[in-house]
Each structure stands twice: as structure tokens, then as C-alpha cells.
Amino acid sequence: MQTKSENACFGGVQGVYSHASDACKCDMTFGLFLPAEARDGPVPVLWYLSGLTCTHENAMTKAGAQGWAAEQGIALIFPDTSPRGDAVADDEAYDLGKGAGFYVNATQDLWAPHYKMWDYIADELPALITGNFAIDGDRQAITGHSMGGHGALTLAMGLPGRYTSVSAFSPICNTTGSDWGRKQLSAYLGDDEAGWAAHDASLVMRERGFDGPVLTDTGTKDQFADLLKTETLAEAAMARRQQATIRMQPGYDHSYFFVQSFIEDHIAFHAEALYA
């Protein structure tokens, strides 16, 4: 692991690190914010999964999360959204390939050598971080934006007992029923739709739900509303009687201005669960 940068931030340290990934077969970069409390021992952590076209840097610099995390004594992890490098397969479209890993393990020949983002987020990166930093691996929560909201929800429900709480900003809620999903799942996983279900938050919500609190926020003026399909997640949560708060925020769009506006709420939501 290499240190790319470390900066003082709200009494703690905002670092950027790279490492050779066994899962993705390339070098990967991530951001990690450690609050001041990490100098005295392991602290709980909130994962932030970013959306289409993003790297580790977008949320790290635009979400405004570090100050609120510092108040709560919580670390923040900002992973990348896909494998990177000249040898990594890509596509001309913004919503497939680099920057669009969709947090799945690809099985199709073009993508399978590198696109193992589920394994990277679920296994490899947690082991690396807890092995090298003052992170309490027993107290983890997860959030994300857009494609990252899809990833946060599916990982949280797909890894029972891992996360105390899950939240999302403008999540893609129904990948099997949206062009932000069908295109990518067919490319990465093939045409057998039976293999897609584990990566559709609404289907997984209906089937198994989440053993803990759930919070989502989506703007009423989100320009991608037809692709997000928030109503499918709400219907699935209601059908399952899942503990969930699914909010529609009047006037907000899909941008990081929206994320900034509600990041305090989300960090406080996770802090309550992490310190319960």
C-alpha cells in the first residue's frame, strides 16, 4: 500500500492510498478519513460508495462529510467505483466500464478479469483497511449515491450482519427494471436474468430485507427519476414491513448539492446505530 497524500482535516486526517488489488487485478485507490479519536484506538466506520463516472475523489471533496463524521468520531471510506488501468476493459458510454462497475462480480469474458467490485468492497478492501488503520471492523455502516446507493443497499442486504445501518442518496432501486441496470447487468453478468436478482435492491428488499434501520433520500426534481425507480423500493419495503425511512425531498436534484444538504442527517443516522 502506498500513501498518495495525507492532509489534516477537522482534527483528523484525510488520506488517499493506493494498492495492488488481487480482486480487480490492477492498482486501486481509495480515500480514508480518520477522526481524531483514531489516535487513541479503533473507531467505527461509514463506507461511502459513489455513483457513475466517479472516482474515490468525488465524494471525498464534494459531499462535505468529514466535518460531520469528525463530530461523531466516525471514519469514512471512499472507494473507487471500478477497476482502473490500461489493461482494464472499457466502453465508450459513460455508464459502462470504467467508472461504472455497479458493485458486481462480472462473469462475462470481456469484463470478468478485472470487474470484481463486489469482492473488492465486501472482502479485500475491508481486510486491507482494518489491517492497517485504527478501524473497528465490528462497527461498520454503509451509504452511497446513485449507482453507489444501489451498491450500498445490495451489499447491506447481501451481507447479513456486516453493517449496522444502510442509507442512500438517490439510489438506483430497481436495476432489473431500469436502463441504469439492465444494460450493465446483461453486459457484466450475461443474459440469464435469474443471476441479476441479487443486484436489484427492490427485489432483495422484498426477498430478505435488512436487519436494521434503512434511510434513503431522493429529490423530487431528480433529473434521473425514471431511472432510479424509488417507488419500487418503497413498495418492497412496505410489502415486507421493513423498518425504513424513504424520503422525497422537495426541489432537490441528483447533484452533490443535494448530497451536501442531507449528509449531516445520514451521518447522524448511522452514528446512532454504530454507537447503540
Q: Which pLDDT score, from 0 to 100, does residue 112 have? A: 98
| Closest residue by Cα to residue 126 from 115, 113, 140 | 140
Structural contact between residues 155 and 63, judged by C-beta atoms closer than 8 angstroms: no
Of the listed 21, 50, 146, 165, which one is catalytic?
146
Q: Which pLDDT score, from 0 to 100, does residue 125 have? A: 98
CA distance 27 to 18: 7
CB atoms near residue 265 (< 10 Å): 15
| Closest residue by Cα to residue 49 from 137, 159, 146 | 146
Q: Which pLDDT score, from 0 to 100, does residue 258 have? A: 98
Amino acid at 52: L
Q: Which pLDDT score, from 0 to 100, does residue 83 have? A: 98
Of the listed 114, 145, 254, 270, which one is catalytic?
254
Q: Which pLDDT score, from 0 to 100, does residue 30 have? A: 98
Q: Which pLDDT score, from 0 to 100, does residue 226 have? A: 97
Pairing of strands 43-49, 163-169: unpaired
What is the per-residue pLDDT across 130-145, written as a single tens digit (0 to 9) for each?
999 999 999 999 999 9
**CA 162 to chain CA mean position, Å:** 14
Q: Which pLDDT score, from 0 to 100, does residue 215 have? A: 98
As a three-state string, the secondary structure of the chain is: CEEEEEEEECCEEEEEEEEEECCCCEEEEEEEEECHHHHCCCEEEEEEECCCCCCCHHHHHHCCCHHHHHHHCCEEEECCCCCCCCCCCCCCCCCCECCECCCCECCCCCCCCCCEHHHHHHHHHHHHHHHHCCEEEEEEEEEEECHHHHHHHHHHHHCCCCEEEEEEECCCCCHHHCHHHHHHHHHHHCCCHHHCHHHCHHHHHHHCCCCCCEEEEEECCCCCHHHHCHHHHHHHHHHHCCCCEEEEECCCCCCHHHHHHHHHHHHHHHHHHHCC
Structural contact between residues 149 and 65, judged by C-beta atoms closer than 8 angstroms: no
Q: Which pLDDT score, from 0 to 100, does residue 14 have? A: 98
Residues in the chain predicted with pLDDT less than 50, given as ranges, are none
254 a catalytic residue: yes
Q: Which three cell numbers, joined as nine digits, stand for 190?
A: 450475461
CA distance 26 to 18: 10
pTM of the model: 0.98
Q: Which three cell numbers, joined as nine digits, stand for 117?
A: 467490485
Question: Domains in the chain and their CATH numbers?
Answer: 2-274 (3.40.50.1820)
Q: Which pLDDT score, from 0 to 100, does residue 146 have? A: 98
Structural contact between residues 249 and 220, judged by C-beta atoms closer than 8 angstroms: yes
Q: Which pLDDT score, from 0 to 100, does residue 88 have? A: 98
